[in-house]
Amino acid sequence: MFKFMLNDAIGYVRNNVRDISLNALRLLPHLPQLSPYDVNLVLRENEFIFNFPLDGVIHSYETNQLGSNTPCEDSRTEASLLFRNGFICGIFDGHGGAACGQVVSKRLLRYISAATLPRQVLKDKMQKGCTSQSFLKCHNDNADFVNEIKPIYEHSFNKYITELIKEPQRDVTSELQHAFVHLDESLAQEALATHDVRTMGVALSGAVACLVHLEGLQLHVASTGDCGAVLGILDPVTNQWQPKKLNTEHNADNMQEVQRILDEHPKEERDTIIRNGRLLSQLAPLRAFGDYRYKWSVETLQQQVVPMFGEHMMPPHYFTPPYLTARPDVQHHELDVNDKFLVIASDGLWDFLSPSEVVSLVGQHVNSKKIQEPMRLENGDVTLQEISDKLAERKAGLNRKPIDSNAATHLIRHALGGTDYGIEHSKISYYLSLPKDVVRLYRDDITITVIYFNSDHIAKLKKDEKGISSKVTGA
């Protein structure tokens, strides 16, 4: 019981950390001051930029990750869909260990890349002996499953495909939901079937996910848990950046979500299900992969989990499981020429910055990037005065030139060091030099992926589409 009280206390501190953090930081004695060079080294360690070589809807993406837990519990995967023009990427914020997040981040994309393929194509490909990795190409992938685990996952995947082929094609939204739920079920089955401490670890740790699926102009954001996705739209009239949220976080602030959970359980449990903003006073996100401590029946837990991990694995007030689901909310959005970029990030970022702040920061970054390129003059006559005016405009921009070329790093730097009057180095230094045992109180793992859309290409696609539809109506 004491432990849970402690957890509650941590939860309380975490929730209020924004208010007390800076004062508390000042109180921590003798933190080493990092030099700007060291700070850059830390912030840029996990940077990645990918420019798509071909003309597509996506121009490039930039991503970065800053760990707080050791090891970092966030994962990210980005991939191009094969056999069609598409892109898929996801951010996975693990809790209770990194295992679930790591596994889901790899497998979920494979499931979805297969599920959204037309059934006939899928059938043909599978007959030719395809594996789980045949339907996508990962861009920043430098790890794979160990040999003992790989066949188990491959087996589950094949089972999933076999079922899939039997079922008729659904729309993308349903396929996404189906894949989420199916993968989550697989995790449980694998754990119970193999009795391996590793597969059990995956099932008992948890992860929230935010996944972006883009094919043509059709953008789907599937989100389970408290990651966030926000679209940056450039208002063509005012030239201002507008944010558009593409998901709702599943946490205690989301009244609809709280209501859903309460409705699914008997009235007697109203006071115990959600306490201190947490599920069973333990779990902050209200939906997640894994976390079978909140999903399995009491018997399963008693027989399978408690002997392996001990009595404390049993949550308090555990009466009518499952309390948790992996089913995502899916939002659909059709891309428009004014949609310039999409930011998805784990809650580590949203703790510090609001969606509108994020969009304006990335927007500024986009503007300043133009300035970093050498000036090009249009052909034809141009007077020296015109050039001078143009240069003056650029000069104003040059002064605001960001330190980071990667927008994700730019966001992390602002999240940690942003003040009303600009970036404060000492603040970042404090955050980065906090001792391991307390750092988690002040900042969570942060993972960010910024996807840039190619407006020219979108405009072209839109035009083609119109052409086709008008033809259709004309006929």
- Contacts with another protein by CB under 8 A lie at 44, 46-51, 71, 97-99, 102-103, 140, 142-146, 149, 197-198, 201-202, 205, 374-375, 377, 381-385, 387-388, 391-392, 394-395, 398, 406
DSSP β-ladder status, 228-234 and 241-245: antiparallel
Minimum CB separation of residue 375 from another protein in Å reads: 4
Element (H, E) at 155: helix 150-166
How far apart are alpha carbons 147 and 2 in whole angstroms?
A: 41
Respond yes or no on whether the N-terminal peptide bond of residue 71 is cis (omega within 30° of 0).
yes
Whether the CB-CB separation of 439 and 59 falls below 8 Å is answered with no
How far apart are alpha carbons 257 and 255 in whole angstroms?
A: 5
How far apart are alpha carbons 430 and 26 in whole angstroms?
A: 9
How far apart are alpha carbons 450 and 119 in whole angstroms?
A: 31
Task: Name which of 143 and 255 has its Cβ closer to another protein.
Answer: 143
Task: Name which of 208 and 252 has its Cβ closer to another protein.
Answer: 208
Minimum CB separation of residue 213 from another protein in Å reads: 24
Minimum CB separation of residue 154 from another protein in Å reads: 14
Minimum CB separation of residue 391 from another protein in Å reads: 4
Task: Say which residue the tokens 């990210």 belong to.
Answer: 76
Task: Name which of 198 and 333 has its Cβ closer to another protein.
Answer: 198
Total residues found in the chain within this entry: 475
Minimum CB separation of residue 349 from another protein in Å reads: 19
Minimum CB separation of residue 307 from another protein in Å reads: 18
Task: Name which of 128 and 436 has its Cβ closer to another protein.
Answer: 436
Closest CA to 95 of 278, 258, 296: 278
Tokens of 268: 């007697």
Write the DSSP assignment of 280-308 as a string of letters: TTTBSSSS-EE-GGGTS-HHHIIIIIHHH
Minimum CB separation of residue 106 from another protein in Å reads: 8
Task: Name which of 250 and 410 has its Cβ closer to another protein.
Answer: 410
Task: Name which of 240 and 388 has its Cβ closer to another protein.
Answer: 388
Residue 144: HSE in the Cβ half-sphere, 13 Å Cα cutoff: 9
Task: Name which of 25 and 366 has its Cβ closer to another protein.
Answer: 366
